[in-house]
Amino acid sequence: MLTAREQQVSTHVLRGATDREIAKALVVSTRTVHKHLERIYRKLDLTNRTSRMALLAAQTDGAAVVPPLVSVRSTRR
């Protein structure tokens, strides 16, 4: 149902990443992330990130384990 890229974006969302963090990790613009999220929400009949998290919990009886997001923050200061 979701494209490979939409699945990647969704995984980052489930790990708690912000749009900016997702964009940086996937090397795309935040606008591209927003468009992917729009398509994900439409395909899954959702309205926001919280709905996506609730759907995952319902599908897995609340036992979903999503590995932590690897930090993509720069070490520059």
- Report the alpha-carbon distance of residue 40 to residue 9 in Å, rounded: 9
Distance CA 61, CA 63 (A): 5
Say how many domains are in the chain. Answer: 1
- The model's pTM: 0.70
Per-residue pLDDT of 10-54, as tens digits, reads 889 888 899 999 999 999 999 999 999 999 989 988 888 888 777
Confidence of residue 61 (pLDDT cuts 50, 70, 90): low
Closest to 6 measured CA to CA, from 63, 60, 52 = 52
Residue 68 in domain: no
Residue 13's φ and ψ, nearest 5 degrees, are -60, -45
Q: What is the CATH number of the domain that holds 39?
A: 1.10.10.10
Range of the domain at 54: 4-59
- Please indicate, yes or no, if residue 33 is contained in any of the structural domains: yes
